[in-house]
Chain A
């Protein structure tokens, strides 16, 4: 079920009505658990079973680890959790990718091997809920968390519908305590939740789908040489589209959870106003980047074993982070490029931080601009379906085809430039704070005007039920 669908509007109204009508906290959680499975099953009902089995298994493995007296036993149960979760992810998401690469490797070695292509349907959001469930067993193994005794609460933690299929990836330590008792009543919680849902839907339906998707699709699906203006417009369109699409989903998820009295963590913090790449990753897909940091980068040694080793660790983490997004080498290159940026930043950031000029307004704007442009180049690999397409677009971006094809209408170019400018200005102005702080300062008229404008634009756009980009991950 998509947030941007009529089905969800009715579903959410029914769930909210039921939730706030029920008196018992336990009954409310039961309702939300069933609703979450209905939400997920609306795509492909059999995959609900997979979700239940995988999360029930992690629940019992958590209990086993909690009861284990010897470290070897704990390690064994963790091993089972890792093998089953990553095995499931590997089969569904990377099965064909691994086969294709094995085939290519065998061919390089002179071995002609022709495996049958597996007809695998990818369960929606499997990367998200697998990681979410894994963080629980890892935390229990490391002794950071006591295993929960309630199977229902654990199933609910993994399946909670606002964040189930595209995050934010919620940690058990943040969510399970919220299952213990209903949140204390707070004035404005539901209305603020509805405001966030409106903002998220506006980002997705109006900005990402209606104003940006067409230019991005035209450019990335075009097979010929493009003019520089067209290539840049397409890449800027995708840069903004993916932000509005994904941040829109996260904002909706946070808003929907708030309406039900639950708090989810921020997933984005004005990332296109980042100065440098470590700053970018503190602002972009925060729930994934912190997860990779805590469960992969630190265990690899982090930056405790010298500069060289920390750079290697960064590259490993970003490579895996890239492949997490999709089973294609283009995603791996996207991750590795970010890794290279981060490594370069480590080298130059010391002198740069010392320099007085770097703190001036103009220098800060310049550094934000440089970071944004560098990030845009990485998006080419993220969006392109293959390397020749990516190479063609990058060559067009640097002006390799001055007489290339102009395929975008002027209106579409203006549309992308206006939305991108608005996005960058908004991120710049809000970069030091939070949305909540900004909204606290807005005059009431501006707030009502903005809310009315967003709702009106959503109704006017009508939507076309496009899936969120991150569902495929």
Chain B
């Protein structure tokens, strides 16, 4: 009986491998440096990508009595964490997610039997009441990462953060191969149901997910215009799918929205039942985007009903001149300096709402 077959050995092409590898590494290093220089020259700076890992890391910091911010991109840009901390006496944890529906995150906090803290929940009705699709999936993806965060993913994130803090071209939303290909001027075929493009890079983010609008976007110019005019298509719900009758689709949407109201009431009651608080906030919006949102979801609709059903306090920016007086650079978010001032103005209203 053979003890084994003879030792198997793979062939190796006969080439001057040492020299080839050295030249390759020199060329790759040069190309990478050139790409970094180019990225910085056109306005990019080192900043963190808003990945599910970064979100999961913050979610992991939530303690039973934490002050937590949930919602869409508006509280990310509009709230200054230092301002909230000095005003409310606790360092908030930033869990708002751009382009997301906040409900899954709110429900996740409600499902945590130990959580009895304070939640500041941003409401953009078109997003919060989205029955499914990418807005809900973005939140679910982040939650999934938090609940199943492996050791390998944690260490990969820690290493990624170190690189992103120093390298400008590491921009997952903008400078990846895929994003660059999307910028090719290739016209789409007629009737192609292709979604609107996402906004380009216009913010910086740190390890606490503190977000600031870049100077280039805060000032009038091509970037600001591009971001501004990207919102209307993004805030327009997609047409009903062709393969579902319109009536059936509208009925199912109606049912989903009703369910979202009921589930939100449940989530708020659970948190309040443990001694926690939830306060809903409608953050500033302006220009054509405000007209669009007001037309699609008038205040008398979802906002009023949400407060009535949940019994939770709410702050609607238009009710207070000091909160409504901002000229938003790109209609949807405040600039960095504006956010500091806005937070200081919002704190008394938050205190009042939470004291109720």
Contact = CB atoms under 8 A, between A and B. Distances in A.
Partners in one complex: yes
Interface of A: 1-2, 5-8, 10, 41-45, 143-146, 172-178, 180, 183, 186-189, 191-192, 194-195, 206, 210-211, 214, 223-225, 254, 258, 263-265, 405-411, 414-415, 434, 436-437, 439-440, 444, 447-448, 451-452, 455-457, 459-462, 464-465
A42 B12 contact: no
Contacts of B6: 177
B252 interface: no
Contacts of B152: 1-2, 5, 7-8, 42-43
A299 B233 CA distance: 62
A224 B242 contact: yes
Contacts of B178: 210-211, 214, 461
Interface string B10-25: 1111111110110110
A459 B32 contact: yes
Q: Taking each of B31, B175, B177, B192, which has the highest tally of chain A beta carbons within 10 Å of its own beta carbon?
A: B177
A411 B184 contact: yes
Given A406-B192, A447-B15, 12 more contacts: A177-B6, A192-B12, A211-B181, A263-B10, A408-B194, A409-B192, A410-B186, A410-B187, A415-B181, A434-B11, A436-B10, A461-B177
A191 B186 contact: no
A43 B156 contact: no
Contacts of A405: 193, 241-243
A72 B8 CA distance: 33
Contacts of B155: 6-7, 10, 42
A191 B5 CA distance: 27
Nearest to A205: B177
A41 B186 CA distance: 45
Interface string B174-194: 011110111010111101111
Contacts of B37: none
A265 B182 CA distance: 39
Contacts of A172: 4
Contacts of A174: 5, 8
Interface residues of B, number: 58
A187 B16 CA distance: 9
A194 B21 CA distance: 9
A188 B15 contact: yes
B131 to A, nearest CB: 14
B1 interface: yes
Contact of B243 (A175, A195, A224, A409): A224
A440 B14 contact: yes
A44 B178 CA distance: 31
B355 interface: no
A210 B10 CA distance: 31
A460 B192 contact: no
10 contacts: A146-B2, A172-B4, A187-B12, A191-B20, A224-B244, A254-B10, A264-B10, A409-B188, A410-B192, A436-B10
Contact of A462 (B2, B9, B15, B172): B172
A225 B243 CA distance: 7
Contacts of A223: 241, 243
A306 B286 CA distance: 79
Contacts of A436: 10-13
A410 B189 contact: yes
Contact of B241 (A6, A224, A411): A224
A175 B150 CA distance: 30
A173 B5 contact: yes
B166 to A, nearest CB: 14
Contact of B9 (A5, A6, A263): A263
A188 B14 contact: yes
A143 B9 CA distance: 24
A7 B156 contact: yes
A235 B155 CA distance: 35
Given A7-B156, A452-B27, A188 B182 contact: no
B62 to A, nearest CB: 23
A444 B16 contact: yes
Interface string B195-229: 00000000000000000000000000000000000
Contacts of A143: 1
Contacts of B11: 434, 436
B234 interface: no
B12 A186 contact: yes
Contacts of B4: 145-146, 172-173, 176-177
Kindly list the 4 A-B residue pairs having the minimum CB-CB distance in the complex, ordered from nearest: A224-B243, A191-B17, A42-B152, A188-B17
A177 B15 contact: no
A462 B17 contact: no
Contact of B8 (A178, A406, A414, A452): A178
B156 A455 contact: no
A1 to B, nearest CB: 4
Interface centre among B10, B152, B176, B241 (most CB of A within 10 A): B10
Nearest to B10: A263
B160 A6 contact: yes
Question: By CB atoms of chain A within 10 A, which of B6, B13, B159 has the most?
Answer: B13
Contacts of B28: 452, 455-456, 459
B70 interface: no
B242 A444 contact: no
B151 interface: yes
A288 to B, nearest CB: 18
Contacts of B24: 448, 451-452, 455
